Amino acid sequence: MNAGASNSGAVNARAANAGAANPSATPDNATLLAVRGLTVSYRVSDGRGHALLRAVSGVSFDLARGETLGLVGESGSGKSSIARALLRLVPAESGSVQFHGSDLLQLSGAPLQAMRRHLQLIFQDPLAALDPRMPIGGILAEPLRVFEPKLSGTQREQRVLAMAQAVGLGAEHLSRYAHQFSGGQAQRIGIARALIIEPELVVCDEPLSALDVSIKSQISNLLKDLQRRLQLSLLFISHDLAAVRFSCDRVLVLYLGRVMELADCDALFGASRHPYTRALMRAAPIPDPVVARARNNAPLEGEVPSPLSAPSGCVFRTRCPMAIARCTHEVPVLRQVGASLVACHRAEEVDSPVE
């Protein structure tokens, strides 16, 4: 048997096993990740000393096996802080993250190291994320050396080649260095590096934002195909609502570290219930200029408040066109309204389709 056949067989076997154990990719599947009350704060300098910046405030959500959950919101909404806390790259102030029967926030030492192989990250800037001193084959082999040290050199080489082929690269690419690749090729390498140790959960932190428009669709399709074949669970962070709509099963909308809305992708894009979600959608570009001119795309008034002095009550109230007196002193709870979980006192009044 030639090496190419053997390597592709290894990837196909993984996909077959995953598919047999997990035939569905809906939230009805067994929960893989359960986040409850996650709060993340940073100590920052405010010019007069140190202050506490609350980046994430009491966020809760579940992620099913084989599901892709999108995290959307403006810069400073807490998306990346959630991802970093889940991966234990920054400490959480409070909350719990249940994964494989353990609270990730309580693990340390060898148990945390063992759990890390199941949680991987795809970075925003693919070229900056690759070591310029190592050939690509060495970059892909490094996770195997750390997490599967018992593999022989031949086995490691076969795994590296199989993973490279799975993302659309060949054996000829493995001896090259990062600067010899385009942004799209570099992101394929980043995806391969994240997947080579067969994780169950992959955090995609703005994986398309540094790519040319012509390349974004290729990487989106690659991620979606690998997610389906390997039954991966993805946490997909993005500003690009079109990419979120294409890639995600459900969407979590964040503003100043709080959940505004959580719904299935079709329900959210068809009839979202939160004024902030609807404003984000109206601001998203539309390729058809006729439709774009006809729609109501008035931008939100005002700037995003500083997390150092978030508004009382509903944090969105200072920019919300539907704000009332109740919003100034009462924090809206996340509740079921229509097909969405939404944190808005007036969500029942928002029931027309999104423009």
CATH no. for residue 92?
3.40.50.300
Domain membership flag for residue 167:
yes
Q: What are phi and psi for residue 318, nearest 5 degrees?
A: -70, -15
The verdict on 45 and 163 lying in the same domain is yes
Same domain, 34 and 124: yes
pLDDT tens digit at each of 355 positions of the chain: 344 444 444 444 444 333 333 333 344 468 999 999 999 999 887 667 788 899 999 999 999 999 999 999 998 899 999 999 999 999 999 999 999 889 999 999 999 999 999 999 999 888 888 999 999 999 999 999 999 999 999 999 999 999 999 999 999 999 999 999 999 999 999 999 999 999 999 999 999 988 888 899 999 999 999 999 999 999 999 988 999 999 999 999 999 999 999 999 999 998 899 999 999 988 776 655 555 555 555 667 778 888 888 899 999 999 999 999 999 999 999 999 999 999 999 999 887 655 5
Residue 265: inside a domain: yes
The answer to whether the beta carbons of residues 201 and 121 sit under 8 Å apart is: no
CB atoms within 10 A of CB 65: 21
Round to whole Å and give the CA distance between 32 and 25.
12
Distances (CA, A) of 248 to 149, 198, 242, 266: 35, 21, 10, 10
pTM, 2 dp: 0.86
Q: Does one domain contain both 171 and 192?
A: yes
Whether residues 59 and 111 fall in one domain: yes
Q: How far is CA 294 from CA 141, 283, 355, in A?
A: 52, 13, 9
CA–CA distances in Å: residue 13 to residues 112, 180, 229, 350 = 28, 32, 10, 48
154 with 107, same domain: the answer is: yes
- With respect to residue 92, please indicate whether it lies within any of the assigned structural domains: yes
The rounded distance, in Å, linking the Cα atoms of 31 and 220 is 24
- For residues 260 and 218, membership in a common domain is answered with no
Domains held by the chain: number: 2
User: Is residue 286 one of the residues assigned to a domain?
Assistant: yes
Q: Is residue 136 part of a domain?
A: yes
Could you give the 3-state DSSP secondary structure of residue 143?
helix
Residue 264 lies in domain: 256-349
206 and 267 inside one domain: no
Q: Do 267 and 250 have their domain in common?
A: no
Of 219, 254, 289, the position where a domain reaches its end is 254
The residue out of 231, 254, 277 marking a domain boundary is 254
In a shared domain, residues 211 and 317: no
Residue 355: inside a domain: no
Same domain, 300 and 154: no
Question: What gap in Å lies between CA 56 and CA 42, rounded to an integer?
Answer: 10
293 and 154 belong to one structural domain: no
Q: Is residue 354 part of a domain?
A: no
Which residue is associated with the tokens 């196909």? 12
Distance CA 15, CA 101 (A): 24
Last residue of a domain, one of 232, 254, 276: 254
* Cβ(276)–Cβ(352) below 8 Å: no
Helix (H, G, I), strand (E, B) or coil at 277: helix
DSSP 188-240: HHHHHHHHTT--SEEEEESTTTTS-HHHHHHHHHHHHHHHHHHT-EEEEE-S-
Q: Tell me which H or E stretch contains 349.
A: none
- Please check whether residue 76 lies inside any domain of the structure: yes
My answer on whether 280 and 156 are in the same domain is no
Contacting residues for 232 by C-beta, under 8 A, at least 6 apart: 66, 195, 199, 200, 201, 202, 226
